[in-house]
Amino acid sequence: MNGWKNKILRIDLSESQIDSFVPDASLLKNYLGGRGLGAKMVYDNGQVDALAPANLLVFAAGPLTGTTTPASGRVSLSTKSPLTGTIFDSNCGGSFGPELKKAGYDAIIITGKSPEPVFIEIEDERVELKSAVTLWGKNAKEVTNLLKDKGSVACIGRAGEKLVLLGSIMSDTVHTFGRGGVGAVMGSKNLKAIVVKGTGSVDVFDSTEFLEQKKAINRLLIASPTINKGLSVFGTPFLVKITNWMKILPVANFSEAEPDFDLKPFFAKSIVERKSPRRKACYSCPIACKREDETGKELPEYETIGMMSANIKNYDYDAIVEANRFCNDYGMDTISVGAVLGCYSEIRDKGISAAELVNLTRMIGEKEDIGERLGRGARLFSASEGCVDKAIQVKGLELPAYDPRGVKGLGFSYATSNRGGCHTRAYLVAPEILRKPKAIDPYTLAGKAGHTKIFQDRFATVDSLVVCKFAFFGAGEEEYANILSAVTGEDYTSEDFMLVGERIWNIERLYNLREGFSKEDDMLPERFFVEKVNERVIDKEEFLKTLDEYYRMRGWDDNGVPTERTLRRLGI
């Protein structure tokens, strides 16, 4: 096969067993790889406790991973989330995915629990379990420095070891499998790290056509102002000024209209003037959205700034830089850390100072004092305080840095997301905020059932290729379907592209229904329906009508359950 390596590595940590198998060709054609392949395997694994040995960790590359397709240097992780109880996937950039493909694997399936801490070392056909006793207790940057000569490193810090429910997995120190507590799943298995080095290559079916399609995508990326005047110049912090101007940057845990301090120090231009940031790109990415300072240390991205500034009434950018580095070193999700601190700030009726931000972040990573409860996430922390209404979350996952009162389609996509309060499931940031691929009105729910479904299906496929969503500010499903065809030799149209995404979305829905989620969980926090901010509120009756419309468009019944006809059409 071309594009795919047609080989999946399987590791049982309980039994110290390592083997591999050849997946059915229809599995790869119908689910592609990445998120889709992971979703199918996690679904087929049945019902398990998230922190039990039987839960799977599925690291899956896509058919474009390891080629030089623009923005294809990503890899996906799928599991059951200990924070939300939902099916969960997360993908990150860097070099881990390309190294996995070059080592000869489409995916790694990890199950069981090692009796002692271990790490997995992969170099092409050689796969070994090695003792991580001397690595246990160390944070991600130290572990990576100790292992990086062996290959690309994905590891947990102390937060994952301690089963902090906001724990993430760090790849090469700054790339994150974030959100949902995936680091705690890895920690529950006594798995400290995975190191991958590959010396092979990824075969392309039609190299001439591939180069033509690659040129077409690159031209579109260069022509996109969002990319060439925004992301490539300033990185993701260019969004701060835009969301502040639109009055959708969260303030005081999404409860107030205006911050009581000047936000200009958080604007991208101010950061450039003060920090002279350097660009950093993932594998095969012309966008280069990551930023580091002159010493090579990472600088925070938009979501981190948004959740740790006005949201917690902190006016110190340098404190966010330090808190961000703590999160990366301990292996923690910056969105959820900022969100739970916003919840804490509102309950305590006070802002969080620069020193408190840094110290509380460290305490969450160490599970120390109040950090132990904060590290359970906003839903459980607010419940422990008797203030469940202060938790700004959907299905247990804290909302990111966009107030849904001013981007109502994005808010609707939070509510219907299979993994909880997430902006990347449908990524309506693109049309509602950045007006790409075309502008849609952010202040209404009219038409948003259809927009949400289309964008959810689209990005389920994107996450399965696996390609960076930022590329879709320029290119679209037609361009990536064309290059997918050139790589694999399989004929994919843009319609096929969307059908794959719809299939993935439905199998994720089936997983959550099996876990006990229902229509009642497709809902936003009550705050957004009853508390007006910036003269905006979401009409609940209109929201529920939109939800019913969305179910009909998906081919689901009135309770949000996929019908037999829909499942037959999708081959599920």
pLDDT at 260: 84
Please write the tens of the pLDDT for every residue from 514-567.
Answer: 999 999 999 999 999 999 999 999 999 999 999 999 999 999 999 999 999 999
Q: How far apart are CA 464 and CA 479, in angstroms?
A: 15
pLDDT score, position 1: 78
Report how far apart, in Å, the C-alpha atoms of 133 and of each of 115, 137, 145, 179 are: 11, 9, 16, 26
The ranges of the chain with pLDDT < 50 are none
DSSP 32-70: -SHHHHHHHHHHHT-S--TTSTTS-EEEE--TTTTS--T
What does the alpha-carbon distance between residue 397 and residue 160 come to, in Å, rounded to a whole number?
17
- Distances in Å between the alpha carbon of 479 and those of 141, 408, 415, 472, 476? 37, 29, 30, 10, 6
In contact, 103 and 120? CB cutoff 8 Å: no
Task: Find the helix or strand (DSSP H, E) in which 89 lies.
Answer: strand 87-92
| pLDDT value for 273 | 95
| pLDDT value, residue 2 | 94
Q: What angle do CA 411, 413, 414 make, to 5 degrees?
A: 65
HSE-up of residue 436 (Cα within 13 Å, Cβ side): 20
Question: Smallest Cα–Cα separation from 96: which of 496, 466, 444?
Answer: 466
Peptide bond into 466 cis (omega under 30): yes
What pLDDT score was predicted for residue 172?
A: 95
- Kindly write down the DSSP assignment for every residue of 485-498, as one continuous string: HHHHSS---HHHHH
The answer to whether residues 124 and 196 touch, using CB atoms and an 8 Å cutoff, is: no
Asked if 143 and 135 count as a contact pair (C-beta separation under 8 A), the reply is: yes
Domains and CATH numbers, the chain: 8-197 (3.60.9.10)
Predicted TM-score of the model (pTM): 0.97
CA 551/CA 554 separation, integer angstroms:
5
DSSP-derived secondary structure for 295-342: TS-B---HHHHHHHTGGGT---HHHHHHHHHHHHHHTB-HHHHHHHHH
- Tell me the three state secondary structure of residue 119: strand
Q: What's the rounded Cα separation, in Å, for the pair 111 and 8?
A: 14
pLDDT in tens, 142-196: 999 999 999 999 999 999 999 999 999 999 999 999 999 999 999 999 999 999 9
- Cβ neighbours of 49 (radius 10 Å): 12
CB neighbourhood size of 510 (10 A): 18
Residue 488, Cα to own-chain centre: how many angstroms?
A: 26
